[in-house]
Structure 1
Amino acid sequence: MRCERIELRDDGTSCLDVLALDPEIAAGKTTERPAIIICPGGGYLTHAQREGEPVAARFLGMGYQSFILRYPTYIADHRKPSDLSDARFNENAPWPEPVVDVMRAMAWVRAHAGEFCIDENRIYMLGFSVGAHLACSLAERFDDEEPLARAGIDARTARPSGIVLCYPMLSADGVLKMSEDGEGFARILKRALFGTDEPSEDQFEAMRLAHHVRPDMPRSFIWHTAEDELASPQETLDFASALLAAGVPCELHLFERGPHGQALCDETSAADETHLNPEAAVWPTLAHAWMSLGGR
């Protein structure tokens, strides 16, 4: 097994953590494996730890070469959002800047597919909350010339085989509901998302991903809970409807119970009892079955 960290930016604000199985499955015999790049959530402020390593380990156990993308976030030292008194902020992190990093991650995995015995037709992006927003942004913008040029790759390299969206944040309208700590936190969220205290309607519209679905984007697997009060389950249904209208293959699971941020929904990733949800804990198995159907 290989565990290593690949720096994606010279300033240390973005990296790719590798958790990969030895390609040699038996003496002198190798087998090609699918790969999954995981984008944790965190409001574009920080990274949710329970949505990184525990998830990578779960899919590693299913036979996926697993990678965790630590994309740039507004809080440079990844402190908890409640501890902002002396936090350092990365003014270059607001969306869509992290799209460059997810493209670089795709490029690195493809460039090392032979080394890790990865099937290049089965490289998937998986994201939680705003990490799902980032994965979906790649699916909709995989041929966007500006970030492609900065990443130094082409559209074929950037396009994933499919995306797995876990309780996705599909617009900035929902993320701003996190601002329960008052105007100060709301202002920081706006800066994290838009780079300004006064975002325009055009900026909000650019982040409403249901409005930018395209027929040639990768297939999608989506799961959400009806009780989620941070990322709107209605927006998820609207997004799935847009996929169907555009002819994009998708699979959607809406579970009745559970708050936002449950990750694996079991003891592996739970920070407290609210993260335990036996009903929704089947989602990794469902996603694995969906990914096993192959790319598009």
Structure 2
Amino acid sequence: MKRLILVCLYPLLVCCNVLAQQPSPLWQEENIPNYQNNSAKEVVVERDIISIQNVQSATIEVYLPSNKNANSMAVLILPGGGYNSVSYDWEGTDYAKWFNSQGIAAFVLKYRMPQAESVLTSHKAPIQDAQRAIRYIRHNALKFNVDKNKVGVIGSSAGGHLASTLATHFTSSYYQAKDAIDNENVRPDFLMLIYPIVSMKNGVTHQGSRNKLLGKQPSFELIQRFSNETRVTENTPPTFIIHSGNDKAVPVENSIRMYQALVKHQVEATLHVFPDGGHGYGLGLSKSEAPNWTGLASKWLQSLSANNF
């Protein structure tokens, strides 16, 4: 009887192993741009979320909806963490599962930290990884059952800054092409910002994130370049923004300035500002005062699909 049970279970175990998703390296080791060898290690901090610090090398994790539910859209997910860590499940894999429920393929990026010992130029590393990631999705669009012209990006907090950088710096590639993946377009087809850092300007930015990304005494030119509200053009993708007025970490002015720039350039934009919620509420399930932004996002995505794709 024991032998029979083992035989019956074996196909199930094989099936589960095949279906399990594992993060994949974004770069081949010899092709990582802006990189130097080092002995530093990543650290996973024991908290109520998975917080990964000192990220040395980028990975991408794939979450796919069922084929019957899939609508051919895809989204690159950039978790926050103040450019000091990656809130991997809280603003990453939890989001991915929600997007799957909407029929959208989701890809969680663990991007390099600007001050990691492996990084040569701090401000380039995150955007290099983000540009590579969206190209990776498009290059493998057939494999993932997605339309390469329906690939967007979502970012929270510092991840929102990185997402807005991806959406406003797409005329420049931040690294030299390494392989066929890098022939793909880096412009997202839509942009979603959740309590985002957008500006690097004094009095608006989150100072700790700016220090990590640009250094403690950045040049005026560098501040301007990564104040993404100044980079908006008519070609910036349609944008959905959520923020809370009582956010004490990242001032709501980041989202307001971004929205004003989008409207000025006649880009389709939606901004929801809530009086409560504070900062860092993820999907908004952990505290009663957090806004129910996923319901709003679902309607926006449906409208986007109907009107733009």
Normalising by structure 1, report the TM-score. Answer: 0.78
Q: Give 1:202's match in structure 2, choosing from 216, 221, 240.
A: 221
> Residue 83 of structure 1 corresponds to which residue in structure 2?
none
> Residue 284 of structure 2 corresponds to which residue in structure 1?
265
Question: Cα–Cα, structure 1 residues 31 and 288, in superposed 2: closer, same or farther, change >3 Å?
Answer: closer
In the TM superposition, what is the alpha-carbon distance from 1:31 to its structure 2 partner? 5.7
In the TM superposition, what is the alpha-carbon distance from 1:291 to its structure 2 partner? 3.7
Question: Cα–Cα, structure 1 residues 193 and 114, in superposed 2: closer, same or farther, change >3 Å?
Answer: same
Question: Cα–Cα, structure 1 residues 208 and 31, in superposed 2: closer, same or farther, change >3 Å?
Answer: closer
Check conservation: 1:127, 1:134, Cα contact below 8 A.
Answer: yes
> Residue 255 of structure 1 corresponds to which residue in structure 2?
274
CA-atom RMSD, angstroms?
2.6
> Residue 167 of structure 2 corresponds to which residue in structure 1?
139
Post-superposition Cα deviations, 1:55-97, rounded to whole Å, max 9, x if no partner, equal: 1111111111111011111465xxxxxxxxxxxx454362232
Q: Which has the higher contact order (CA 8 A, sep 6+)?
A: 1
Amino acid at match of 1:108: Y
| Identical-residue share of aligned pairs (%) | 25
Q: Does the alignment pair 1:19 with 2:38? A: no
Amino acid at match of 1:6: S
Amino acid at match of 1:98: P
Q: Give 1:192's match in structure 2, choosing from 195, 212, 216.
A: 212
Check conservation: 1:73, 1:93, Cα contact below 8 A.
Answer: no
Give the unaligned 5+ runs of structure 2: 1-18, 33-55
Check conservation: 2:71, 2:103, Cα contact below 8 A.
Answer: no
Give the unaligned 5+ runs of structure 1: 77-88, 179-188
3-state secondary structure, aligned to 2:85: coil
Q: Does the alignment pair 1:38 with 2:77? A: yes
> Residue 106 of structure 2 corresponds to which residue in structure 1?
66
> Residue 136 of structure 2 corresponds to which residue in structure 1?
108
> Residue 53 of structure 2 corresponds to which residue in structure 1?
none
Structure whose CA Rg is larger: 2
Amino acid at match of 2:188: P
Give aligned pairs, total.
261
Question: Cα–Cα, structure 1 residues 32 and 55, in superposed 2: closer, same or farther, change >3 Å?
Answer: closer
> Residue 149 of structure 2 corresponds to which residue in structure 1?
121
3-state secondary structure, aligned to 2:263: helix
